[in-house]
Structure formats: C-alpha cells, structure tokens
Amino acid sequence: MNRERKKWLIIAASLLAVFIIYYLVMSVLAVSRAVNEFDDAYFALLEQKEGDTIDLCAIPGYIDMIRNKAFLNSQVKLAESDSVGLLINVRDSVIQLLIKGLPVRTVKIDEYDISPFFHSANQEAIYKMLSTPLTITGMQATFMKDPVSVKIAPRDTSQVVESEKPDTTDFEAVFFTLDTDRNIRFFFEQQEDTIGADRRARFVFDLKDRMRNASVTMRAVARMKIPPYVPYIKIWLPKAEAKIIYRAIPREGMIVLTQ
C-alpha cells in the first residue's frame, strides 16, 4: 500500500470515528432534552406557593402513593369506556384486557425493557401523565389484525360438518408496536420462536425499527440538531397471548400504564 493511499485511509477512518462519536453524543443528548422538556412542561403548569421548597419526592412512600393514585384514576377513566382496554402493569409484570374495568384476560409478562426516560424524568410529572389512559394513535404488526376467513356454504344439511375443529396451526410471527398520544411507543414481541421463520421475522422487525430511528437521527445530526426521542417500553409475551391482545384492542383503544 503506497503512502498516499494509506494517508487517505487514515483520514477517512478518523472522520468516520468522529462522526460515530458525534452521533452517539447526540443520541444521548436526545434523551436528556426529552426529559428536560417534559419536566419543564409539567412545572410550568404547576402552581408554586411562595416559600414552598419541600421536595415531596424525597419523602419516603410519597412516590408509591402518587403511583397508586395515578393507577387507580386511570383505571376509573378506562372503566367509563365501552370498548376493550389494555392495562399494562410493568411493576407486577402483568397485562390485562379490561371491559368496563373488569379483567377478561390476564397475561404474565415474560420480560420487559423500559426507556431510561421513565427513570430520569420527574416522577410526579410521570404519574401526572399516567393518571389518565393513553390513547393508541397507530399500530403496526407482522400479521393481520382482522383475519379473513373464507368459507363455502353447504348446499344442503348433509354437507355440514357438525364438530369441525378450527385449524390451530399457527405459523405467523407475532411482533407489533403501538404508538400513543403521549409520545410513548410500546413494542410487543413473542418470547419463544416456534419455527425458523420466527427468528427471521424478529430480525426484520428489529432492523426496521433501528433503521427508522437511525434515519430520523441522521437527518437531525446532519443539520447539527439534537434528534427527537420517543420513550419506549418493550414487552415480551408468549406468542399466542401476544396475538390475542393485538387483535382484541381497538385501533384507537386506551392503555392504562403503571411502572
């Protein structure tokens, strides 16, 4: 390798390293900015009394109290709706489908991952936001939400199969996302891989999300701006249960969240 080519390779590698470092720094700053803007918006609406310097969040048991209050208030609001609602209790690793406040299906969360936003933001502000249900604004999945079943009507009663059992064989990979009006995105993924195609679907699902985020971040970084940040919660469930939940919740349904 001649000296000139080696020099240009070193320059290119240095520029790439600088860009990667800058990209990572901007990504970290995106979380900090989202937290600061969220906290500032909360305190701007909060009535401050003169001489009130007590940090209530430092009082033992206070966070648990406002968490429970927000959770109950949100459930009451959800119970007023006639449609199916989704309750996500990250702390107890439980998901429930609710109708009029009554659970009709309960699923145990196998594993979860929470955005650092929820731990960094002011906890009073977090539970103020969660004191009312979140509304779903968008959903994407690797399978159809409303499956279409085509059946041919029998010509007479002799062609009717009385005890026909549905085909329970399930080859669809189950991965979906829910966007909400509070700028919180939920990721639901099947815990187990039943066939080889599941692993490929998991890879593609994750890759699409990373590419979407990278595209938004790259555009912001190219303009020397801090990229936007969307707080997330990733949840892993049994495959069959995850599919039931996705198909049960309305497209503009409500979510009760506590964490």
Domain CATH for 90? 2.40.440.10
What are 56-106's pLDDT values in tens digits?
767 778 889 999 999 999 999 999 988 899 999 999 999 999 999 899 999
Indicate whether 184 belongs to any domain: yes
Look at residue 29 in the predicted model and tell me its pLDDT. Answer: 86
Indicate whether 9 belongs to any domain: no
Binning pLDDT at 50, 70 and 90, where does residue 54 land? Answer: low
Parent domain of 66: 59-144+172-210+229-258
Look at residue 163 in the predicted model and tell me its pLDDT. Answer: 44
Indicate whether 37 belongs to any domain: no
Number of domains in the chain: 1
Q: Does the pLDDT at position 7 exceed 60?
A: yes
Indicate whether 104 belongs to any domain: yes
**Phi (first) and psi of residue 105, to 5 degrees:** -155, 135
Binning pLDDT at 50, 70 and 90, where does residue 117 land? Answer: very high
Look at residue 204 in the predicted model and tell me its pLDDT. Answer: 87
Look at residue 106 in the predicted model and tell me its pLDDT. Answer: 95
Indicate whether 28 belongs to any domain: no
Look at residue 168 in the predicted model and tell me its pLDDT. Answer: 46
Indicate whether 88 belongs to any domain: yes
Look at residue 167 in the predicted model and tell me its pLDDT. Answer: 44
Q: What percent of the chain has pLDDT over 70?
A: 86
Q: What percent of the chain has pLDDT over 90?
A: 49
Indicate whether 43 belongs to any domain: no
What are 203-234's pLDDT values in tens digits?
888 888 888 877 888 788 778 888 889 999 99
What's the chain's average pLDDT? Answer: 84
Indicate whether 40 belongs to any domain: no
